[in-house]
Structure 1
Amino acid sequence: MLNSIRNNTFSFPRPFIAGVVSASLSLSVGELVASITSKTSSLVYAVGEFIIDITPGDIVRGSIETLGNYQKTVLLSSIVVLSLIFGGFLGLLSQRRSEISYFLFIAFGIFGGWTLNRDPLTSTSAALSLSVFATLIGLSTLTFLNTLLDEVEDTQIEDPRNTYANRRQFINWATGMTVAAGTMTGFGRLVLKDETVRNIREKIVLPQTETKSGSVDTQSYTEVAGSSTTTTTPSSESNLLSFSEMNDIEGISSYITPNNEFYRIDTALRVPTVEPSTWTLTIDGLTANPYEISYDEILEMDLVKKDVTLTCVSNEIGGPLVGNAVWTGVPLGEIISKARPSDSAEQVMCHSVDGFRAGFPLENIFDGRTALLAVGMNGVPLPIIHGFPARLVVAGLYGYVSAVKWIKRIELCTWDGNDGYWIPRGWSKRAPIKISSRIDVPQKRKIDAGMQVVAGVAWAPLSGVAAVEISFDSGPWQECDLGVSLSGESWTQWVYRWDAKPGKYEIRVRAIDAKGNVQSSKVVSPAPNGAEGLDKVTVRVV
């Protein structure tokens, strides 16, 4: 009776484990191959891209708002976990209906290959080869482990004394294969990954740009920006606090966001790696002179530097999905004008190498705002995750309609009948960035009585921030001191020095732009065209 209970207890997990191990080896093979070469994606990433494409816009918006920069990690982790569970189910099924189990395993491999073939960066032959190889590895593993399980069952009948030894053999094989799967994934990602593009990028030195000096603490600015020159002109108002004064405030966002801290929101699960020597940008569509331009030809043009604040439309009030950087590039007006747009051209539709596309009005290129084909960020070539070798930066527009990374084509087209990636998913087609502000300091919610600072950043593209005010417990608005901002297209640091008395306080902040527009206090969610409302924090003074 006791042996019967033990057999029933342990008969369930072993086939499940066999299926999980088989699925993990299949996935690991895909990860290993994808790590070695930049010519194909992994099966996990390919399935993730497919899920993103078919997911309704409301769910995508909710995931970005809830998870932010962790959205991709959660998605990929979920795919892996569900794939392993499905593998475990196939392992259980193989004990009763092996032909159905193997058929479903093959079908899952075909599905993975199909999603892989959808990836613009993966050829059909590579997708087919990888999916077939990974499926064969998984099926072979499942067949082998099932053979070991059959031996366990046979010894229970023929010689129960050998049952323990055969179980131990199964466990050893399953453990070894699991370790092998993890090793392949880790070794591929950490040791064998293709560093060709990264090494090429590190050797590129951007050409010098023309310097236009300003009158307010230009040296401090260039040190923060990691650059020796700037083309923007700082304000001449003497009552503005310098960059060094503002950056001495612990916890405040720096005027220039470091590259490794700049937010990243895009649809690319696998970051494209594009060799600049083979990359070209095509400008076509409704033009009289379509043409292509290479990376080297862009670097030979007259480059400019502009400090521009970018923000994601999914950013909540007070959220982190915003940053300010010095962008180096060619004015987009020069690129477009050479193509000689036709009179019917109304929209600039930009295409990425990974299939993403976004569009904005053609008039925005010629209305005086900064619109760049950018090749540099904060004095260095674009980081790979931020669009190397080239991307778009358009001041005053949310990124989902303009900030195309890894760009390969600029298509001039009509406004109607041509939509970017996010428009059918519920986002507005016109996307001007809204005036907003954020409280960075105090970071702690319990502070000491006495002199304290309340500080943060505010932005109001394109006119710029003229004033920032804070209010305590819905009391009168009080003006803050502003830091230097080198253009209306970048954010402004602000600070308020507060003689804090014991008690509990709710602090709110609002910005006012150069045209007199006051940041709205009405609470509006990010969808479909950007959040509204006032950032607020509650602190207790002791």
Structure 2
Amino acid sequence: MDAATSDGTDSTDPQTGPERDRVRRAGLGAICVAFWLVGATAAAPLADGHPLFGLAQASIDASPGWLATLVIETFGKLAQPLLVAGMGIGILAFGAALGAVWHRLPAAVRGRPVALGGGLLVTTAGTFVLAGVTVPAIVAGVTVLTTVPVAAFLALSLRDGTGVAGGGADASRRRPILQGLGVALVGAVGVAGATRTLVPDESGTDQPQELPAEPDASAGGSDTPAPEATDVTATAKRQEGTTRTATPTVTATPTATPEVLRRERMGQIRITEVDADGPFGFDFTGMPRTVTPAAGHYVIDKNVDDPEIDTDDWTLSVGGPAAEDAYELDFDDLTGHEESRDQVTTLLCISNEVGDGLVSTGRWRGIPLKTLVERAGPTDAAMDIVTRAADGYTEGIPWEYVREHPEVLLAYGLGGKTLPTEHGAPARLLIPGRYGMKSTKWITDIEVSDADHEGYWDQRGWSEVAVINMFSYTVEVSLDGGETWGRADIEEPPGEYAWRRWRHDVERARGTVDVVTRMTDATGTRQTSEETAPHEGGGSTGWHQASFEV
């Protein structure tokens, strides 16, 4: 006699038996999670935070240094979106697995819908708190909004028999297909919606505001080309990490620009082919601007979702165990500070590979950090100046260094406007000559510490001093793979701590050209040809190379 269930289906048939029931239950579990993701994505704008972001951020902060380095070097800027998408897919898989083994759970668990519902509410609320939502009323509201789609789907599925074994053989065959399509559609909407919110929204009302004219033009001093540095001063400044970019081989920019026949970009190398006999300046198409527009400035940080801070509610606390007179400033105090200055400074990310684009030059406005610290009355015990951020990031700089370097700024402006959120609004640190990881964003506290402080990336094994590997005073170009070299023309720098654009004019017959570039600093130290990864010794090394057809 054939085995049969109460609805007449064959329990030994894999199309209608226990195996199909497991598939159906797995689909039900995955669809429940998919609806949860959709609900969370719908609630996220109200909460200003998404549970997936909270889970992803927690995993980032808990990751050991070697893992964080591996992921960053492998995926680069895609690491965070991929992590969020992976979290969503993982949650869907968890729901499917839970559904598949549901019938094996103790009856005491399966028979307590109120307890299960309560567990869902608590878990949902916890993920929103993890995402940075702290107002109880908002947490409660978005928790309910997120779980309503799940509750509605479960109620409907139980009412029409989707959640139990039944419905006949034909319905049993169709249901897994429909469930699969449902999971794919609803889950894609939830995961894609969460991942999409990683893209900055430029349409909001909380946009950077125009800043007034610089209070004292003489304070900045950065719009005037830097004086020529001697070998002695260059050596000292390189050891400190503040080597200036002045050069004895600068070239003024000619105004004539001949007809351009061809343009090509190879990483950070721009090749322009022209029909002309004379020089043609530095402002040809493809050459980076002298000062990078704020919208084009590179952005890298550890956050899945950057903190958005209302300047009306923000205050900066300056004090600490090694300060005698702690005080606070609001944003108006900062922007109206008499020591404010403009400073053109180049920032370079430590993750930048040789020739890549994680480098930009901005016109920043801020106040010397030493000025703010000195007002707090640092004692003889002062050791490190610790900057603390709204996202939990911390960084420490020796007080001795800060005291001797007024170019280290607490910046509140970029490109003539207040800082955008992605660049650390309301205020961030700016340290010329150091990789960007040292320049804390979203600062809320400046602490005068009496102990050595280990910063966020220091704890993960990265360079503590983070001095940029090389500042060029001359640039050489080889067109035969490094056999022979010629010196490039270098433009006057836009500021003392800024990059300089360079250009090399050549006449070549048609064919393949192997371009190699290297630089030398004022002490005669030449850039090493040894290639190292960005985080092995504190920044990547090697010569930039590219090949192209003329």
TM range (shorter): 0.7 to 0.9
Cα pair 2:81 2:195 within 8 Å, conserved: no
How has the CA–CA distance of structure 1 residues 137 and 106 changed in structure 2, closer, same or farther, with 3 Å as cutoff?
A: farther
Match of 1:413 among 449, 462, 467: 449
* 2:276 corresponding residue in structure 1: none
Cα pair 1:45 1:76 within 8 Å, conserved: yes
* 1:33 corresponding residue in structure 2: 43
Counterpart-to-counterpart distance in 1, 2:172 and 2:96: 23
* 2:153 corresponding residue in structure 1: 141
* 1:390 corresponding residue in structure 2: 427
Cα pair 2:344 2:362 within 8 Å, conserved: yes
Match of 1:428 among 427, 444, 463: 463
How has the CA–CA distance of structure 1 residues 140 and 132 changed in structure 2, closer, same or farther, with 3 Å as cutoff?
A: same
Match of 1:76 among 78, 84, 87: 84
Larger RCO (alpha carbons 8 Å, 6+ apart) = 2
Asked whether 1:18 is paired with 2:55, we answer no
Asked whether 1:404 is paired with 2:440, we answer yes
Match of 2:412 among 375, 386, 401: 375
* 1:155 corresponding residue in structure 2: 167
* 1:520 corresponding residue in structure 2: 528
1:319 Cα deviation from its structure 2 partner:
2.1
Match of 2:223 among 218, 232, 248: 232
Asked whether 1:352 is paired with 2:364, we answer no
- Superposition RMSD in Å: 3.8
Counterpart-to-counterpart distance in 1, 2:74 and 2:57: 19
Match of 1:296 among 316, 332, 340: 332
Asked whether 1:274 is paired with 2:309, we answer yes
Cα pair 2:24 2:175 within 8 Å, conserved: no
TM-score, normalized by length of structure 1? 0.78
Matches within 5 A, 1:333-348: 333-348=370-385
Cα pair 1:35 1:188 within 8 Å, conserved: no
Tell me the matched-pair count.
486
Counterpart-to-counterpart distance in 2, 1:524 and 1:104: 53
Counterpart-to-counterpart distance in 2, 1:243 and 1:147: 79
Match of 2:67 among 54, 59, 62: 59
Cα pair 1:483 1:492 within 8 Å, conserved: yes
1:315 Cα deviation from its structure 2 partner:
1.6
Rg: which structure is higher? 2
Counterpart-to-counterpart distance in 1, 2:148 and 2:429: 43
* 1:468 corresponding residue in structure 2: 475
Asked whether 1:117 is paired with 2:117, we answer no
* 2:267 corresponding residue in structure 1: none
Counterpart-to-counterpart distance in 1, 2:194 and 2:124: 22
Cα pair 1:210 1:230 within 8 Å, conserved: no
* 1:441 corresponding residue in structure 2: none
SS of 1:412 mapped into structure 2: strand
Match of 1:91 among 96, 99, 122: 99
Relative to its length, the structure with more helix (as a share) is 1
1:13 Cα deviation from its structure 2 partner:
4.3
What are the superposed Cα offsets for residues 208-261 of structure 1, whole Å, 9 maximum, x if unpaired? 105759xxxxxxxxxxxxxxx974312588952439765533333222222222
Cα pair 2:29 2:97 within 8 Å, conserved: yes
Identity %: 26
SS of 2:323 mapped into structure 1: coil
Counterpart-to-counterpart distance in 2, 1:168 and 1:522: 60
Counterpart-to-counterpart distance in 1, 2:190 and 2:37: 12
Match of 1:199 among 205, 229, 237: 205
TM-score, normalized by length of structure 2? 0.77
* 1:257 corresponding residue in structure 2: 292
Match of 2:505 among 474, 497, 506: 497
SS of 1:7 mapped into structure 2: coil
SS of 1:333 mapped into structure 2: helix
Counterpart-to-counterpart distance in 1, 2:65 and 2:390: 22
Match of 1:319 among 356, 359, 374: 356
What are the superposed Cα offsets for residues 262-297 of structure 1, whole Å, 9 maximum, x if unpaired? 222211111211111000011111211111100011
* 2:275 corresponding residue in structure 1: none
Amino acid at match of 1:299: T
How has the CA–CA distance of structure 1 residues 168 and 66 changed in structure 2, closer, same or farther, with 3 Å as cutoff?
A: closer
